[in-house]
């Protein structure tokens, strides 16, 4: 498993689904489908996505702080 950071390439909106897909070893498309399907259920999925978008560093920022 890799470090959780939003990629600079291969992302659509915020890169959250691409980051989670990379972390758990699945494709970004699969993670996006899971997210869209989960939005059909009641819960704070969209708010969680926005929170992760804000809290997760981008790959560039993570690489600078990792040394």
Per-residue pLDDT tens for 2-32? 678 888 777 788 889 999 998 999 999 999 9
DSSP reduced 3-state for 11: coil
Rounded CA separation 39/57 (Å): 24
Structural domain range at position 25: 16-66
**Cβ-contact 19, 56 below 8 angstroms:** yes
Instruction: Tokens for 52, please give them.
Output: 């992760």
Task: For helices 45-55 and 16-24, give the axis angle rounded to 10 degrees.
Answer: 90
Residue 29 lies in a domain: yes
Instruction: Tokens for 5, please give them.
Output: 């950071």
Query: How many domains in the chain?
Result: 1
Rounded CA separation 51/36 (Å): 16
Residue 4 lies in a domain: no
The predicted pLDDT at position 10 comes to: 73
């Amino acid at each position: 498993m890799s470090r959780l950071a939003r990629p600079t390439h291969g992302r659509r909106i915020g890169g959250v689904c691409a980051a989670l897909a990379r972390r758990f070893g699945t494709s970004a498309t699969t993670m996006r489908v899971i997210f869209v399907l989960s939005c059909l259920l009641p819960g704070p999925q969209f708010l969680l996505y926005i929170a992760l978008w804000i809290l997760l560093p981008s790959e560039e920022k993570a690489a600078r702080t990792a040394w």
